[in-house]
């Protein structure tokens, strides 16, 4: 698929998602009215929420040659995430590979 076609498809689904949200209907009701499959709407909602313009902070590895015993600790709402430097580097590399 060409970049132009991909962008048009993304725009179409973004408009559909916006229309669904404004409708006040649940996904099943809205999809039934518009002859679409619920899993398609859900897929595109997840896909488009991961686009670069979403609120994702890009990460970069500055140096991965030596590892210390220090841990990275993240607090997000009521969630606490702890990772060693080695685990953090592996996670960042895995996330970058997905992009």
Structural domain including 76 reads 57-99
pLDDT at 68: 58
pLDDT at 38: 92
Given 49, 67, 87, which residue is the final one in a domain? 49
73 and 96 housed in the same domain: yes
d(CA 99, CA 94): 9
Number of domains in the chain: 2
70 and 91 housed in the same domain: yes
87 and 61 housed in the same domain: yes
Q: Would the pLDDT of 53 be above 60?
A: no
Comparison of pLDDT for 45 and 89, the residue scoring more: 45
Instruction: State the average pLDDT over residues 20-43.
Output: 93
97 and 65 housed in the same domain: yes
Query: In the structure encoding, which two tokens stand for residue 9, read together?
Result: 């498809």
Q: Would the pLDDT of 54 be above 50?
A: no
The pTM score is 0.50
65 and 99 housed in the same domain: yes
CA 66 to chain centre: 30
Compute the mean pLDDT over every residue in the chain, rounded to the nearest whole number.
Answer: 80
- Is residue 72 within 8 Å of 82, Cβ to Cβ? yes
């Amino acid at each position: 698929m060409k970049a132009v076609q991909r962008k048009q498809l993304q725009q179409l689904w973004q408009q559909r998602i916006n229309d669904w949200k404004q409708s006040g209907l649940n996904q099943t009701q809205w999809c039934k009215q518009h002859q679409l499959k619920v899993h398609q709407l859900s897929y595109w909602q997840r896909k488009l929420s991961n686009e670069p313009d979403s609120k994702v902070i890009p990460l970069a590895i500055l140096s991965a040659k030596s590892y210390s015993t220090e841990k990275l600790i993240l607090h997000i709402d009521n969630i606490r995430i702890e990772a060693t430097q080695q685990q953090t580097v592996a996670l960042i590399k895995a996330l970058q590979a997905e992009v």
